[in-house]
Amino acid sequence: MTIYRDVLSAVVRCLAAECIDNTAKQAWQKLYSAHADEGAGIEVLGRLGGAEVIDNNLVDCLVFTVLHKKLKERHWHALAAKYSTHKARKVEAIGKLLPLIATPAPKLFLYKAVTAWAVPKLKGARVQLAPTVSVDIPVDASPSKQAAIIKAALAADQVRRKRIESRSADMIVLPDSFYDMSTWDPDAHSERTRREWRQKIHAVLDEMVSEALKEAEAILHEEGLLLSEAA
């Protein structure tokens, strides 16, 4: 059975499991709900679900279910906003966090500050696809051979484009202008004020994540799923 090296890797993996197999996750949620009062652990739940072998993906789904049920709501949403790669889950979590943060900043500023924290600006997140394809064609090749080379190059480029577009579709990538704080504040407060607001909002969110990871670590300790328990 999977043993995680630390709580963060467990959280990241179980949240990623939602994107890989949402149907399996929902099935394990129902199973957990049915046996939660009996104190059934992850290994027992796996057996109850008819799993002959509790593989890594299954454990990730079970950990997702257990953390979702046992963590405080604000802690679950903080982890989902910070680490989930599931678009809908991340957007939902951001919305759930907004009412929990006290700030003198306008609502627009709060929304954009929380979103920028959950979806930080990443270098290289946008892949520019060239509008043309370069092909080396031997000058002494026959017309049919040249046509075949061009056809193969175009097919390979199409596959590459689909792979890149598919990968980008799984990410939330915000335009660069979103991170410009001057667009967050309709009342045009000073740069110093805006920076202070952002710093305090992010500090509250970071504290929530730290608390959530500590709580998740205690839950995983109980299940014996951390490396220290396996040693």
Q: Measured between alpha carbons, how far is 189 from 64 in angstroms, rounded to an integer?
A: 42
- Neighbouring CB atoms inside 10 A of 114's CB total 24
Asked whether residue 170 carries a pLDDT value surpassing 60, the answer given is no
Q: pLDDT band at 48, cuts 50/70/90? A: very low
- Interior/surface letters 24-41, b for 16+ CB within 10 angstroms, e for the rest: bbeebbebbeeeeeeebe
What is the reported pLDDT for 171? 65
* pLDDT confidence bin for 50, thresholds 50/70/90: very low
User: What is residue 30's predicted lDDT score, i.e. its pLDDT?
Assistant: 58
User: How far apart, in whole angstroms, are the C-alpha atoms of residue 49 and residue 102?
Assistant: 43
Q: What is the DSSP letter of 131?
A: S
pLDDT for residue 61: 79
pLDDT at 9 over 80: yes
Residues 117-121, mean pLDDT to the nearest whole number: 91
CA angle at 52 for the pair 50 and 58, rounded to the nearest 5°: 80
Asked if 207 contacts 214 with a C-beta cutoff of 8 angstroms, the reply is no
Residue 106, pLDDT > 90, answer yes
